A and B are shown apart, each in its own frame.
Chain A
Amino acid sequence: MLIPRFNYHRPSTIKEACEIKAEFKNKAMFLAGGTDIIVNLKRGVISPERLISLNGIEELRLHSVDGRNGQTRIASCGTVSGLIREKFMLPYSALITGMESLGSPLIRNMATIGGNLATARPAADISPSLIAYNAKVVLTSASGKREVLMDDFFLGPGKTALNDDEILSEIVLDNPSSYAGSAYIKLGTRKALEISLVNVAAFLTLEKPDGPITGARIVMGAVGPVPLRARSAESILVGEKPGAALFAEAGKAAASKDSSPIDDFRGSAEYRRDMVKILTERALKKAVNDIR
């Protein structure tokens, strides 16, 4: 399988990368891990005139923990397998589970967290957890940077809030408060190299060890054009004590009110809806068990 011809750029700073992107706009694409872009180039799905490699930019690999503001800042070109091993990732168990289920070891060694977000696939394994944690992304251009909530980042399949001249440079996570727990569950038919049929991420915060729930964020993947918040399920949870009956009720609401799955060759809409109910329930149970 051949890759069409393109011009290749290899900037060494974010600024330089942004300047090249600003010059060529949508005729140029950023190349990070390449695990999606190279496949799409080979399949003829995309044919950019230019590729701007981000792999020579050191600052896109430097993660930092900002203790003063209680934030973890993940550099966008961190590889998935590299991030899984980082100590600062430990509080974000839903995110780690998502990253562990992405592709295969061969893919995880190349794929980057920022690339996974920028390709904006509706079934992606990383985005639901990041939305559940209420993470932000930093979008940088030659003229400055802006922060966008993950809630507002995805606009449709393959479409994001990134402008033509912007680069996704960082992912910012608030350090979880006490009595918070999270979980991610992916449903597929295989354990590796699988695209989710349905996935659900849940993030719960309690007032004290035995409740009540003060914050609930549930995000469902592969049941809509973008990862969706299960807002009616969330509102059922807040103010209540965690428990099996409550979680079952939340699962029902997520399936009937919050998701909009479609039929495709991976599964029917009806099946997906049923699975949203079950996965939501299970993710909530798992999130409670994760509370530290």
Chain B
Amino acid sequence: MKILINVTVNQKKYELAVEPNMTLADMIREELKLTGTKKGCGLGECGACTVLLDGKPVSSCLVLAIEADNRDVVTIEGVETEKGLHPIQQAFVEKGAIQCGFCTPGMVLSAKALLDENPHPDEQDIRKAISGNLCRCTGYQKIVEAVQSVSARK
């Protein structure tokens, strides 16, 4: 039986009827067609499905959509501003921190959550903040540099 929920996604309010066994990741991708959120392992180990739930990064494959009732969700589509790419996204482009791109939405969101709380993190803080997001291409160095460059600019 579907249950009605009210959820804010990228500052837009939605009223959705979801099955209790639907994950937040599937709700975002299948119901809202926001496919920037990636699905990797489905078991909370890779971080590709990272979204911000009430400002905190979580694995959306381990959250039930109904549990997001009355909560605030930000996906990668909500990071860009009317002025264009978010500084973190811009830094990823400039530093070449993207290769295949599958981990990128999660990386950007984990980095955003970190910088929102601590505008000047050191390298260890950054590595710790993205430790739940796996990247199989770049070896993390450029990702860390990209986040550092945003922190330096602030």
Which of B8-16, B60-68, B96-104, B141-149 forms contacts with chain A?
A: B60-68
A38-B64 in contact given A1-B42, A7-B20, A107-B44 (Cβ < 8 Å): yes
| A5 on interface, CB distance cutoff 8 Å | yes
CB of B62 within 8 A of CB of A39, answer: yes
CB of B20 within 8 A of CB of A51, answer: yes
A39-B44 in contact given A5-B19, A6-B20, A105-B110 (Cβ < 8 Å): yes
| A93 on interface, CB distance cutoff 8 Å | no
CB of B62 within 8 A of CB of A105, answer: no
The size bracket of the interface on A is 20 to 34
**Smallest Cβ distance from A33 to chain B, in angstroms?**
8
CB of B20 within 8 A of CB of A106, answer: no
Residues of B within 8 A of A35 (CB): 44, 59, 62
CB of A5 within 8 A of CB of B67, answer: no
The residue in A4, A7, A104 that gathers the most chain B C-beta atoms within 10 A of its C-beta is A104
CB of A106 within 8 A of CB of B66, answer: no
A109-B21 in contact given A42-B42, A55-B67, A192-B132 (Cβ < 8 Å): no
We find that the number of chain B residues with CB closer than 8 angstroms to chain A is: 29
| B86 on interface, CB distance cutoff 8 Å | no
Which of A34, A43, A192 has a CB less than 8 Å from the CB of B63? A34
- Nearest chain A residue, comparing its CB with the CB of B114: A105
The residue in A2, A43, A53, A109 that gathers the most chain B C-beta atoms within 10 A of its C-beta is A109
Which of B44, B56, B110 has a CB less than 8 Å from the CB of A81? B56
Residues of A within 8 A of B62 (CB): 34-35, 38-39, 107, 110
SS class, residues of chain A in contact with chain B = loop
Count: A-B pairs, CB below 8 Å: 85
Q: Chain A 25-69, CB within 8 Å of chain B: the 1/0 string? A: 000000100110011011100000001010100000000000000
The residue in B63, B64, B66, B110 that gathers the most chain A C-beta atoms within 10 A of its C-beta is B64
Residues of B within 8 A of A5 (CB): 19-21
Interface residue ranges, A against B (CB under 8 Å): 1-8, 10, 31, 34-35, 38-39, 41-43, 51, 53, 55, 81, 103-107, 109-110, 191-193
Q: List 26 A-B contacts (CB under 8 A).
A: A3-B22, A4-B21, A5-B21, A6-B20, A7-B20, A8-B64, A8-B66, A35-B44, A38-B44, A38-B61, A41-B21, A53-B67, A104-B131, A105-B128, A105-B129, A105-B132, A106-B57, A106-B59, A106-B110, A106-B133, A107-B44, A107-B132, A109-B56, A109-B58, A110-B63, A193-B131
Interface residue ranges, B against A (CB under 8 Å): 3, 19-23, 42-45, 47, 50, 53, 56-59, 61-64, 66-67, 110, 128-129, 131-133
